[in-house]
Structures are given as C-alpha cells and as structure tokens.
Amino acid sequence: MSIGVIFPGQGSQSIGMLTGLSSESVSIRDTIYEQASDRLGFDVGHLIAEGPVEKLNQTQITQPVLLTVNHVLWLMWSERFFADTPPIALAGHSLGEFSALVAAGCLSFDDALDLVALRGQLMQQAVPQGVGAMAAILGLPDDVVEAICREVAEDEVVAPANYNSPGQLVIAGHASAVERAMLQAKAAGAKRAVVLPVSVPSHCALMAEASQALAERLDRLDMAPPSIPVFHNVDAKPREHAEGVRGALVAQLAQPVHWTATIRALSQFGVECFYECGPGRVLTGLGKRIEKSAQWVPYEQEVSE
C-alpha cells in the first residue's frame, strides 16, 4: 500500500505532547529537544511538558516548537517503518509544510527552526493585536463563502484562508470584516460560524509585508531539491527545484491553504494510506471528509502503541 505523510500546523500543539513514548523513542525525543533548545534559546522540552500554555500558544513560539515535535515523530517513524517502504509523497498544512520539507531533505532542521521562528515573528508583527481575525465557516459551499467575502469586504480585507475540507472553510482578514462575513454566512444557512482563538490572520493579504520579509530570508538560505515530492499548499503541486520551493513558501503566507485540493492531488498521485505525522488528529479528521476511501492513521497513536 502506497503511503503519504502529512504534517499538521499551528493549532495541533498542546501541553504534554509526546508523553507515553517507548524508551527508545524518548531518547530520540530528548536529543531533538536539546538541539532545538540550543538553537532557540529556551527549554523546549520544559515548555511542552509544563507550559505555560499562554507561552506555547504565542505564534512565534508555537511555530518552532511544533516543527520540533513533528520532526521528532518523523525520525521515530523513519527508524521504525521506513527501512523498506518510504512514503511516496509528503505535504504539510500551513506551518506543517516546513516539516515536510525537512523530511524531504530540502531544508535542514536547524535552518527550518530559524526560518519558522522568524516566520512567526513576522506574522505577529504584521498586524496589531485585535486588528485581524480568523473564523471557520461550516456547512456552506466554498463558492458561497467566497462570494460573501467579496460582498462584505468594503474597504477592508476578508478572504478564504484555509480550504480545509468540503463544507469547512476558514476566512481571515480585518476583524470587523470577518465579523460581517460571519453574520452573512449565518444568514445564508451556515451550520456554524466560529471565531478562531488566534491573534494572527494568516494566509490573507494582511500578511503581504511578512511574506516579503520572509522572501528576503529565503533568498539567503541554502536549499536542496526535495528527495520525496512535497505537495504545496498554494496549488497542491510539488516542486522539483529549490527555487520553486522558495516561491511556494513565500506565496503560502499571504495566499490560502488549498488543503482539500492537496489531499485529492496526493490521492491521484497514488497515496492510499495517509499518516498524520504530528500531535493530535486534526488532519485525519479533515482527511476522512475529503477522501473517504483512503486509510487514515493518526501518527502519534501509531508510534505510542
């Protein structure tokens, strides 16, 4: 059976991630935690184990910490399962795309830590606290939500940010415009319209300045061609060369995540079984609504058994 590996992004983090692992897995975890701590300047393992949750959920902290956890799980799985059967393709949701590129050998783990820490800082600085917002719209067709965003935007930004699964579309932009879109969505028959507990309106035009600053950093970074195809959020397509990867990462920050299309593209590529390589099972839940015929395995559960 052909395997694909998908990496979750921001929102999958929690205090106590990666507890209950086997002794050999703990050794890998502690080694990577120490490497990340040295690079980031704070105790990653202590933060994950003890919190506080307020610090863990700060965008500039969450991003490198979640990258670290995803990488630990990738190394565990590689050691346990990949000697004979490597995955045929990889993808990651938003921040998770960086984990996929590390797994594919395109980025070193250290460079990725630096990059996502900077990414988180740039995103946090791009929009003042309280100015932006994100909301999940459930139970409406994508084209209806797109039309609502156009109708209510006025002179502000509100647009699709994450095409997560059929009937689940996250929007982002100015808080007041997001609120108008939520009200209109409810009037149009949405099952739910829920503000997300985030401080940064990701994947919309408000991230344009952060995207440009990230591009300047990426231009100075050495990257290798991916050894395993990585399907990117911006268009659900892989890139063969580093320059194309750079462009996709820059575009991703200010453009929507096409997750539904990405999962379908991976399935068409030949992936029959999806392993979620990260804490929790958010992507497994979404995936079961996108490709019902595929097998879905929350990766943390697999390595903890």
| Catalytic residue annotation | 94, 203
Q: 70: Cβ–Cβ under 8 A, 6 or more apart, which residues?
A: 7, 8, 92, 96, 99, 277, 278
Provide CB contacts within 8 A for 52, sequence distance 6+: none
